C-alpha cells in the first residue's frame, strides 16, 4: 500500500497553516465587517476599475460566502452578497482585491497571463495526476507512477505562480483604496488584516501541493519502508 499515515505527517505543516489561515480570514473578515466604509464593495470596485480605465469589466453579484472572484475570460468581477452590497471595510477590501486581478489582466501582468494559461493543465493534473500515480504503483509500473506525479506537478506549478499573483492583487488593492480615498489611511489596518489573512491561505495551498509532490516522489525513490 503506497499510501500510509505518514502522508499526513508529511503535510502536517501545511494543514496546520491552512487551518490557522482560514480561522484568521473569518475572524478578520467578521471584525472588519463591523467597520463602516463610505462605499459598498461593488461601488468601490467600480471606482477602482473606472479610475484605471478598465471600464469594460462588469461587476455582478454571485451566491455563496466569500465566493468572490474575477473571471478573466468573461471580463466579469463577481462578488458575494456580503461584499457586493455591504458598506464595510471588509467588503471594500475584498472587492478591491478582486478588482486588482482585473487590473492585472487589463495591464498585461505577465504572471497573471501564465496563471490563466496554466489553469486547464492544473485542473487536469489535480483530477487525474494522483490517480495515474496510484495506477502506476498498483501495477508496479514506475514509469506510469512518475507520469502521474508529472501531471500533479502542474498543480504545484500553478500554486507557485498563483501565490505572487494573489499578493500583487492585494498590494494593488491596498494602494488604490488609499489613493482614491475609499479608505482613510487610519482605517487600513483592518483591511490589511483581511487581505493578509487571505494571502496565508494561498501560502498554505502552495505548501501542501509541494509537500504532497515531495512525499510521493520520495515514495518512488525508496523513501518509504512499507512493503510495496
Q: Which residues are catalytic?
A: 98
Distance, C-alpha 148 to centroid of its chain? 24
Sequence-distant (6+) residues with CB within 8 A of 19 are: none
Distance, C-alpha 166 to centroid of its chain? 6
Rounded CA Rg of the chain: 20
| 57 in Cβ contact with 7 (< 8 Å) | no
For residue 135, what are the CA distances in angstroms to 5, 111, 122, 192, 204?
19, 34, 19, 45, 28
Q: What is the DSSP string of 55-68?
A: TT-EEEE--SSS--
Amino acid at each position: 500500500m503506497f499510501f500510509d499515515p505518514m502522508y499526513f505527517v508529511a503535510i502536517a505543516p501545511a494543514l496546520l497553516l491552512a487551518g490557522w489561515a482560514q480561522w484568521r480570514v473569518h475572524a478578520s473578515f467578521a471584525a472588519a465587517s463591523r467597520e463602516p466604509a463610505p462605499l459598498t464593495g461593488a461601488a468601490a470596485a467600480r471606482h477602482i476599475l473606472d479610475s484605471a480605465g478598465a471600464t469594460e469589466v462588469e461587476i455582478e453579484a454571485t451566491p455563496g460566502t466569500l465566493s468572490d472572484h474575477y473571471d478573466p475570460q468573461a471580463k466579469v468581477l463577481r462578488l458575494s452578497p456580503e461584499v457586493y452590497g455591504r458598506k464595510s471595510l471588509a467588503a471594500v477590501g475584498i472587492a478591491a482585491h478582486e478588482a486588482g486581478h482585473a487590473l492585472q489582466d487589463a495591464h498585461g501582468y505577465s504572471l497573471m497571463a501564465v496563471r490563466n494559461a496554466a489553469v486547464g493543465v492544473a485542473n487536469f493534473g489535480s483530477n487525474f495526476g494522483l490517480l495515474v500515480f496510484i495506477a502506476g504503483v498498483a501495477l508496479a509500473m514506475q514509469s506510469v507512477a512518475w507520469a502521474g506525479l508529472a501531471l500533479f506537478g502542474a498543480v504545484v506549478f500553478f500554486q507557485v505562480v498563483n501565490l505572487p499573483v494573489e499578493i500583487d492583487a492585494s498590494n494593488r488593492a491596498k494602494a488604490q483604496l488609499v489613493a482614491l480615498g475609499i479608505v482613510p489611511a487610519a482605517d487600513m489596518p483592518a483591511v490589511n488584516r483581511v487581505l493578509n489573512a487571505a494571502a496565508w491561505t494561498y501560502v498554505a495551498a502552495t505548501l501542501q501541493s509541494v509537500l504532497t509532490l515531495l512525499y510521493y516522489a520520495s515514495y518512488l525513490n525508496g523513501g518509504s519502508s512499507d512493503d510495496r
